[in-house]
Amino acid sequence: MQPDMEPDMELDIDEIIKKLSVVQEGDLKLYTYSPDDFSDGGSMLTKSMPVFYNPIQELNRSITLIAYKAYQEEHMANHPEVPLKILDSMAASGIRSLRLTLFLTKPHEIFANDLSPLALSLIRKNMELNSISTQIETTNKDCNLLMSEWGTSHRFSHIIDLDPFGTPNYFIPNAVRSVSNGGLLGVTATDTPVLFGVRPSACLRKYNVTALRSSFCKEVGLRILLHYIAKQAHPWMRYIEPVMALSFDHYVRVFVRIRKGKEGITSNFKNFGYILWCPHCDWRDSIHLNIFDANSQCPLCHSKVKFGGPLWIGKLHENDFVLKCSEIAENCTKQTIPSKKRIVKTLNYLPHENQMPLGYFNIHKICDRLQISVSSMEKIERAIIAEGFNYSRTHIEPHAIKSNIDIPSLSRILHALTKE
Ligand SMILES: C[S@@+](CC[C@H](N)C(=O)[O-])C[C@H]1O[C@@H](n2cnc3c(N)ncnc32)[C@H](O)[C@@H]1O
Ligand SMILES: [Zn+2]
């Protein structure tokens, strides 16, 4: 149970659903409380919603459908006789499990679990509403207990989905042990101020690392979460392979393959390190594990550098997996995947950003610092490539780029473009 969570009261679900509205997300109809009654005034919802449903998270759910279908295709090729087993460990209204049921190839075994009895009753009503009463098993347990029981009794799940309100940190140790060897773990974290370095002491407490509030902090946040998942897997003789790591609006979402084996654990360590960043001139670098090998002075402007870590400094995506996701997304209708356009665009960026050095350059922030106007992204791209550097956009921020360019050359190019 999340530490500050209240147990639900005994409630009559038939009376309750009379007061709920029915919304549509993708191909699914859903009984839900009205998010407007529980918003903080912006796009964030408060925990007071009796059963959680955030329409903004449609993107999270839709990309999850695509990632799990890509995984299912691999799974069916390798184990055609074994139905894919998925645990939606924190199902709330059941929307994720229900959309998965409609989307994935059958047969599959989906378990929708939530600690809240009210959520469970609502999941069952939502199953009835969509005439899929028998295709999902529902459970009403603390998912830490459930995953630990499954791990202990070797009833592994091919996919486990963690979608908490806030940090996922205390669910990860049990999740990594109860995914099957080669299985997939999907994790949401909405505690972005912690991961992005706005609350460094909370980051130390929750993820045991030094946060870094840098100009590319959203990528740093992904790397902190991946490092944490890997560290929790190691005691179980397991290691991680990130297949897709995404940062959207107010949350991050990572998909990692979990495998067993000592060699893999050792190779995970090759992907652990620190990021160094100069707050004065935006210089950045990464180093493998020994922070004492790092310079404490920026080699360009001699200011004191900041560091973050230990964190994941390896690749964030697996290109073959991303390409499979792109194919699936292209073939979906907008009806089934409402945010298809944004997903296709995101997936197109990933293989390119994956080839680039760590970090990104936020063009607006650099131009602000240089006190110059911002040129178009197309002009910037042409100028960088013309000088022989590589270039990619990033899904993380619309006005950011990834490149092997150094910051003095980038500043010079941005200056020159303003004079054209
Ligand atoms: C953010 S909501 C999940 C949203 C849902 N996955 C979706 O896509 O709409 C988090 C859910 O986790 C449930 N929860 C919190 N602690 C839990 C625990 N220890 N075990 C199982 N469920 C838990 C809450 O009741 C809540 O319904
Ligand atoms: Zn510097």
Q: Is the pTM of the predicted complex or chain greater than 0.85?
A: yes
CB of 114 shorter than 6 A to ligand 1 = yes
List every span in the chain annotated with CATH 3.40.50.150: 13-270+312-320
Closest ligand, as measured to the CA of 297: 2
CB of 207 shorter than 6 A to ligand 1 = no
pLDDT, residue 186, reads: 98
pLDDT, residue 16, reads: 84
Q: Give the end-to-end CA distance of the chain in Å, rounded to a whole number.
A: 59
Q: Which atom of ligand 1 is nearest to the CA of 93?
A: 9
pLDDT, residue 40, reads: 64
pLDDT, residue 67, reads: 98
- Of all protein residues, the one whose alpha carbon is nearest to atom 13 of ligand 1 is 90
Mean pLDDT of 196-208: 97
List every span in the chain annotated with CATH 3.30.56.70: 361-420
pLDDT, one tens digit per residue, over 348-383 is 999 999 999 999 999 999 999 999 999 999 999 999
- Helix count (H) and strand count (E) of the chain? 15, 15
Cβ pair 85, 107 in contact under 8 A = no
In the chain, the percentage of residues whose pLDDT exceeds 70 is 94
What does the alpha-carbon distance between residue 277 and residue 297 come to, in Å, rounded to a whole number?
10
Q: Across 140-249, where does the E strand assignment appear?
A: 157-162, 179-189, 238-248
pLDDT, one tens digit per residue, over 104-138 is 999 999 999 999 999 999 999 999 999 998 889 99
pLDDT at 2 over 80: no
pLDDT band at 39 (very low <50, low <70, confident <90, very high): low
Q: Give residue 260's identity as a one-letter amino acid code.
A: K
pLDDT at 250 over 50: yes
pLDDT, residue 4, reads: 46
CB of 163 shorter than 6 A to ligand 1 = yes
pLDDT, one tens digit per residue, over 297-344 is 999 999 999 999 999 999 999 999 999 999 999 999 999 999 999 999
pLDDT, residue 1, reads: 43
Mean pLDDT of 141-145: 98
Mean pLDDT of 391-415: 96
pLDDT, residue 94, reads: 97
Mean pLDDT of 189-210: 97
Length of the chain: 420
What does the alpha-carbon distance between residue 216 and residue 282 come to, in Å, rounded to a whole number?
10
Summary mean pLDDT of the chain: 93
Closest ligand, as measured to the CA of 5: 1
Mean pLDDT of 277-291: 91
pLDDT band at 289 (very low <50, low <70, confident <90, very high): confident
Nearest to 255 by CA among 198, 325, 311: 325
What does the alpha-carbon distance between residue 259 and residue 200 come to, in Å, rounded to a whole number?
31
**Top-level CATH class of 13-270+312-320?**
alpha beta
Q: Does domain 361-420 have CATH number 3.30.56.70?
A: yes
pLDDT at 3 over 70: no
